[in-house]
Chain A
């Protein structure tokens, strides 16, 4: 399979070093100030898979794409340091960025795939800040391409792709045509670390910035976030001495 371009999407997501996520006082969202942005872990796996395919000489070029404000370029740089060849930064900032969701991103990716004449799109299965798990699927639908989601194994065979998917019931083996969209699951590979020499080399690789309008995509959201709340505080538990007591208490609480 001589892939002209492999497009790999790197989602910059909020990486909370501490597990303490705080809701904004006005309940419109989560506090993101001072929180470190990192590449979404599943996207790292996708980039790693793309780079591995290139190292096996099964594809020609890996293009890393990220949609977001200026700092998304850092995430692209990480992908370049892992072995991607060039980057495309789709500039979306401010309110547009806060409201950017899977539908808009998939429209952007579909437009880019056509523009770059890509044969394969590799994404993480979901972003760990919103857990939508929709972008890959929507992109495939917009392009009318086959999709292999939750991939834990990928191999190219001629112009087809053999995939093992992790599903609730076990492992599913499928074969799909190219061009195709694949989303990476946890066990697909172990992503390499970006090393200092590779980070230095990555500085010389090109990142091109475009706007969604240039691709003919309208990023207005059709969703409005009404409210973000913390989950209810955990109530203190109660210890009882006997099973009879337990049943009484459960009845009192209307649970049985």
Chain B
């Protein structure tokens, strides 16, 4: 209870000081000062994380990295680029326009790429392009004592390696608790020759999710497959003045050459129709596609608009694909039974979905019901071999769930790594791992 309320009501836990270093040497020097005086260090990219990652629970020094905003070392032939923390994903893609390359990972916010590495972010097209874990080749990290480490060796960017421990992926997802990321080398992809999007309505959640699973099992390299339940579609219709049928819906996107698109689409359409899906509503040109996806991207605002004056909190569980139909159906039953507003939108292609819980922050009873619901949901996912957080991270609110997910030995290993790299617990204290406070 305390953690969910903390997220809502404990709105701002500001640091004592904010510094704006302009280069890794300054970050290192500042970290040394903090280390000497045992001051907590809170790295800050764009502050768009969803799990309280930048809250300074014990005060301390916030390192705002927004002035380090260079795109360095682009190698189009090698499909890699190195960026500093002030570069956001949209800025990078605008920079890359002329090269025919893009960085596809697109979480909702225009987030800092180094921040995305810190939270192991994901987006709507992870089903085809993966998440940050698969797309970070190297990191430059400043550790708690000010030393600077290059996780794959300085300047190195081979497409694969088996050299030593995988330090890069140790820091990806560490949410600022092991070091400050000051550079990330990213894997780029060719901009697809052609893209086609479609919307398909289904008579039931089961039909929509079955179609997702079958499409993937058929080997269609689908780029985006987003699920919206009837409550979500209704909210989107109202918010964006649309008229989609109010039933479970899939938003699909296919990338490839013109020929490969035809094949992908045919296979997907056969599958959806065999599950009772409607005819596809198509969008081929950029403007129509953008309009189609805007409805999905505005889901958060559409959900909030259902109950003006309320706040929203997003759940984030992820399960193996085969368990998806069951978990969504059970979750919807839970929502209805407990009279909760929780439209569902999600990246079903990864087995990941979000309930956008719309709740009145001044109603403690409703807050309590929401909190219990989110715990049940997380445990439901864990029971199905899944995870309590597919893409948002652990932050403050999911530390207890992480213990359940990993088990005591797993947590102990994580704690040992934390103790090795940050024995004084200065790096973003209170996140990911719970420490027994004396």
Contact = CB atoms under 8 A, between A and B. Distances in A.
Contacts of B94: 17
B73 to A, nearest CB: 13
B190 A190 contact: no
B188 to A, nearest CB: 10
A194 B98 contact: yes
Interface in B58-110: 69-71, 86-87, 91, 94-95, 97-102
A196 B71 contact: no
Main secondary structure of the interface of B (DSSP, over half): mixed
B286 A196 contact: no
B363 interface: no
Which has the most chain B C-beta neighbours within 10 Å: A18, A81, A189? A18
Chain B contact patch, size range: 20 to 34
Which has the most chain B C-beta neighbours within 10 Å: A38, A39, A194, A196? A196
B98 A195 contact: no
A198 B100 CA distance: 8
Given A190-B287, A195-B191, A195-B193, A17 B95 contact: yes
B192 interface: yes
Given A192-B286, A195-B192, A196-B190, A17 B98 contact: no
A15 B71 CA distance: 13
Contact of B100 (A17, A20, A38, A81): A81
B125 to A, nearest CB: 15
B97 A38 contact: yes
Contact of B98 (A78, A190, A192, A197): A78
A229 interface: no
Contacts of A190: 286-287, 290
Contacts of A36: 71, 95
A78 B193 CA distance: 15
Given A17-B69, A74-B98, A193 B191 contact: yes
A195 B95 contact: no
Nearest to B189: A196
A112 interface: no
Contacts of A195: 100, 190-193
Which has the most chain B C-beta neighbours within 10 Å: A17, A189, A193? A193
A182 B102 CA distance: 31
B101 A196 contact: yes
Contacts of A74: 98
Interface string A163-206: 00000000000000000000000000110111111110000000
Given A17-B69, A18-B70, A18-B86, A193 B100 contact: yes
A81 B193 CA distance: 11
A77 B239 CA distance: 42
A14 to B, nearest CB: 13
B415 to A, nearest CB: 39
Interface string A53-90: 00000000000000000000011001001000000000
Contact of A196 (B86, B95, B191): B191
B210 to A, nearest CB: 34
Contacts of B101: 196
Interface in B178-220: 190-193
A17 B88 CA distance: 10
B110 to A, nearest CB: 14
A200 B32 CA distance: 49
Interface string B138-167: 000000000000000000000000000000
A194 B95 contact: no
A81 B191 CA distance: 12
Contacts of A39: 98
A18 B69 contact: yes
B97 A194 contact: yes
Contacts of B257: 197
A196 B87 CA distance: 23
B186 to A, nearest CB: 15
Given A192-B286, A193-B191, A199 B86 contact: no
B291 to A, nearest CB: 11
A38 B86 CA distance: 20
Contact of A199 (B70, B87, B95, B100): B100
A194 B71 contact: no
Contacts of B192: 195
A105 B91 CA distance: 30
Contacts of A38: 97-98
B71 A17 contact: yes
Nearest to A18: B69
Contacts of B191: 193-196
A18 B70 CA distance: 8
A18 B66 CA distance: 10
Contacts of B102: 193
Contacts of A199: 99-100
Interface of A: 15, 17-18, 20, 36, 38-39, 74-75, 78, 81, 189-190, 192-199
Given A190-B290, A194-B97, A198-B193, 18 more contacts: A15-B95, A17-B70, A17-B87, A17-B94, A18-B69, A18-B70, A18-B86, A36-B71, A38-B97, A192-B286, A193-B100, A193-B191, A194-B98, A194-B99, A194-B191, A195-B190, A196-B101, A199-B100
26 contacts: A17-B69, A17-B71, A17-B94, A18-B69, A20-B69, A38-B97, A38-B98, A39-B98, A74-B98, A75-B98, A81-B100, A190-B290, A192-B286, A193-B97, A193-B191, A194-B99, A194-B191, A195-B100, A195-B192, A196-B100, A196-B190, A197-B190, A197-B193, A197-B257, A198-B193, A199-B100
